[in-house]
Amino acid sequence: MSTTSLTPKLNSGSVQAIPLGAIAPWAIFGLLLAIVGIYFVGAEQGATALFKGMYVHEFVHDARHLLGFPCH
């Protein structure tokens, strides 16, 4: 008969905290990527468009509707 435990087993017995200074640059980088992604999904159209044509708009069109941004 096998016994299973739902509690995690730690090898060292302690969990090391990650310093905020080590996480902050990656958090800022991730935030910038998210802002760029939200811009392209939500505002890359018409007067605020960075690229000519409708290619980017059509590429993210389903995401735009999924997130509730106004479209057409």
C-alpha angle 24-29-33 in degrees, rounded to nearest 5? 145
Q: How far is the CB of 34 from Zn ion (least distance, A)?
A: 22
72 near Zn ion, judged by CB under 5 A: yes
The token duo for 46 is 């018409």
What's the gap between Cα 63 and its chain centre? 13
Question: Given the complex with Zn ion, which of 31 and 71 has the nearer CB atom?
Answer: 71
User: Alpha-carbon distance 58 to 21, whole Å?
Assistant: 39
Q: Which is nearer to Zn ion, 29 or 51 (CB)?
A: 51
- Residue nearer to Zn ion on the CB measure, 33 or 38: 38
Among the listed ranges 7-15, 18-26, 43-51, 63-71, the one in contact with Zn ion (CB under 5 A) is 63-71
25 neighbors 53 (Cβ within 8 angstroms) = no
Contact residues: Zn ion, CB under 5 A: 71-72
